[in-house]
Amino acid sequence: MIILALALMAFPAMAQQDADQDDTTGVIAVTLDFGSSLTYAEDGETILLNIMSPTEFAPSVLIVGTDFLTFNYPLLDLQSDWDFSEGLTANAVLDFGEETFEVVIGAPTYDFMTDILTYAVLEFDGLEIDKDNLPLLPEFEIGSLMIRLDGAFVTNITEARAERMGSMRFQICPGCGGGWG
């Protein structure tokens, strides 16, 4: 009888744990360099997070669910797949060691010439934004952008990846595994 009672008490806790795992199935970690900054887009409204991130520290999936099983997500693949999933946003955390900020971001763009990865910041919690005087990011030794992958994000980006791979614009080039035609 006592064993049955303990089992019944443990079941809701296990169900809650499963729900928590479904809520965040993975994390994409982007390493920040000292040149990372906040700027405004040309429209003067949209805040952009410009990330200087050495290419050897390209985004990689650290923890994932079984339906999205990869541990390395090349930067250009991430950008392309996210672009194919129009309107897809993600919750993320900007971590500067002593200070962290919650953000909601849109699909990244990548500038080959400068190696800058840019995200549109749709929401920014924890930092006062003054339209006339955009604040600098805090000084940091080690910084990261941790993009949370929930079930909806994983589903959308997986479908977008399949669409991109099946697109007429995507061509296999010998020796390189794929490329845009």
Predicted TM-score (pTM) of this structure? 0.69
pLDDT of residue 70: 56
How buried is 106 (Cβ within 10 angstroms: 0-12 exposed, 13-18 middle, 19+ buried)? middle
pLDDT of residue 6: 36
Q: Compute the half-sphere exposure of residue 52: CA atoms within 13 Å on the CB side of its CA.
A: 9
pLDDT of residue 104: 93
Neighbours of 145 (CB within 10 A): 24
Residues 11-69: pLDDT tens digits? 333 333 444 445 557 778 788 888 888 888 888 778 888 888 665 555 655 555 555 55
Where would I find the H helices in 85-147?
none
Cα angle 63, 64, 70 (rounded to 5 degrees) comes to: 100
* Higher local confidence (pLDDT), 144 or 18: 144
Where would I find the H helices in 24-96?
75-84
Q: Where are the domains of the chain?
A: 25-166
